[in-house]
């Protein structure tokens, strides 16, 4: 095993242990701390291998965005952390769950590695259905703001899971660059969030992801979901209470969260 592989494995062991306990820790030790995107992706892949082997798990979804300059926004979401029936047990932030309202695109066909690039039409044809979704947020670092971007990428960009809501219109969701997010809580309180997709076109990151994975000898597997960016950033919501999240013109999901 090379020096780089040893460093990636050392970092992965730390990050997997934190995922299992829910206890964040300091930045990765300097010898295994990623300094660039490729080193971060190597750790991310080592985390996936170690997690899936130790937990008998698999990659059930991906998160992605069209990458900004000098960054990549991509990360696996593990099947055991994907839920569709509340209450959902999570690692909270104090007495709050941290969520991001998104759309989840489910693939009905494989997009395997191949020599020929995938076109947007190829990707569209492979999508089976679209659902409302919430990305569930948690960092494995005590002070994530102090970590550099490669460290965040190595850890899957603060993902701890995914909640899948009801299926929605494929045509409406395809055009949903702006969505008003309205949240109702069991105590009668409400909150409003003017939602805008970070890449404007909610399927644009899908087209990027298909090509990114293909270029690395990977692919999207039938049954996997892909989320492509929050419409309203991170929203903190209370634990142990029923929450209704309305996506204007698309639908509503109902959820509640408990602490692990």
The CATH label, of 3.90.850.10, 3.30.750.24, 3.30.300.130, 3.40.50.300, for the domain at 58-259 is: 3.90.850.10
Displacement of CA 74 from its chain's centroid (Å): 8
Q: Mind listing the pLDDT tens digit for each residue in 23-33?
A: 999 999 999 99
Q: Which helix (H) or strand (E) holds 19?
A: helix 3-21
The count of residues in the chain is 260
Average pLDDT, the chain: 96
Alpha carbons 153 and 36: distance in angstroms, whole number: 10
Using 50, 70 and 90 to split pLDDT, how confident is the model at 231?
Answer: very high
Using 50, 70 and 90 to split pLDDT, how confident is the model at 74?
Answer: very high
Percent helix, strand, coil in the chain, to 5, is: 30, 35, 35
Residue extents of the structural domains in the chain? 58-259
pLDDT value of position 2: 82
pLDDT value of position 80: 98
Characterise 124 by phi-psi region: left (phi > 0), alpha (psi -120 to 50), beta (else).
alpha
**pLDDT over threshold 90, residue 4:** no
Cis omega (within 30 of 0) for bond into 87: yes
What is the Cβ-side half-sphere exposure of residue 27, based on CA atoms within 13 angstroms? Answer: 17
Average pLDDT estimate for 215-233: 96
Alpha carbons 23 and 180: distance in angstroms, whole number: 34
- Tell the residue number behind the tokens 């997997």, with chain if given: 16
pLDDT value of position 69: 85
One-character DSSP codes across 23-52: --BSSPPGGG---SHHHHHHHHHHHHHHHH
**pLDDT over threshold 90, residue 135:** yes
Q: Are 73 and 157 in contact (CB under 8 A)?
A: yes
pLDDT value of position 3: 78
Q: Are 42 and 8 in contact (CB under 8 A)?
A: yes
Alpha carbons 258 and 241: distance in angstroms, whole number: 9
- Evaluated on CA atoms 133, 70, 139, 21, the torsion sign reads positive
Average pLDDT estimate for 143-153: 96
pTM of the predicted model as reported, rounded to 2 decimal places:
0.96
pLDDT value of position 9: 97
Residues 6+ apart with CB under 8 A from 216: none
Of the chain, the percentage scoring pLDDT greater than 70 comes to 100
**pLDDT over threshold 80, residue 1:** no
Using 50, 70 and 90 to split pLDDT, how confident is the model at 68?
Answer: confident
């Amino acid at each position: 095993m090379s020096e780089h592989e040893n460093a990636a494995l050392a970092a992965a062991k730390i990050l997997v242990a934190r995922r299992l306990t829910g206890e964040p820790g300091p930045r990765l030790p300097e010898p295994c701390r990623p300094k660039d995107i490729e080193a971060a992706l190597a750790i991310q892949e080592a985390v996936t291998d170690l997690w899936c082997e130790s937990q008998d798990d698999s990659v059930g979804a991906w998160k992605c965005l069209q990458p900004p300059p000098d960054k990549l926004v991509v990360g696996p979401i593990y099947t055991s952390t994907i839920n569709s029936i509340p209450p959902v047990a999570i690692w909270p932030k104090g007495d709050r769950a941290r969520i991001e309202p998104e759309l989840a695109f489910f693939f009905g066909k494989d997009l395997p590695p191949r020599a020929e690039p995938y076109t947007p039409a190829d990707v569209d044809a492979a999508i089976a259905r679209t659902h409302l979704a919430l990305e569930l947020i948690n960092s494995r670092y005590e002070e994530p703001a102090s970590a550099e971007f490669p460290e965040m990428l190595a850890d899957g960009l603060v993902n701890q899971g995914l909640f899948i809501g009801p299926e929605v219109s494929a045509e409406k969701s395809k055009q949903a660059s702006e969505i008003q997010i309205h949240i109702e809580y069991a105590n009668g309180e409400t909150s409003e969030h003017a939602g805008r997709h970070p890449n404007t076109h909610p399927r644009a990151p899908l087209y990027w992801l298909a090509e990114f994975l293909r270029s690395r000898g990977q692919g999207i597997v039938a049954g996997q979901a892909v989320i492509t960016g929050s419409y309203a950033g991170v929203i903190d919501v209370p634990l142990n209470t029923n929450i209704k999240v309305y996506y204007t013109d698309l639908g509503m999901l109902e959820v509640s969260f408990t602490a692990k």
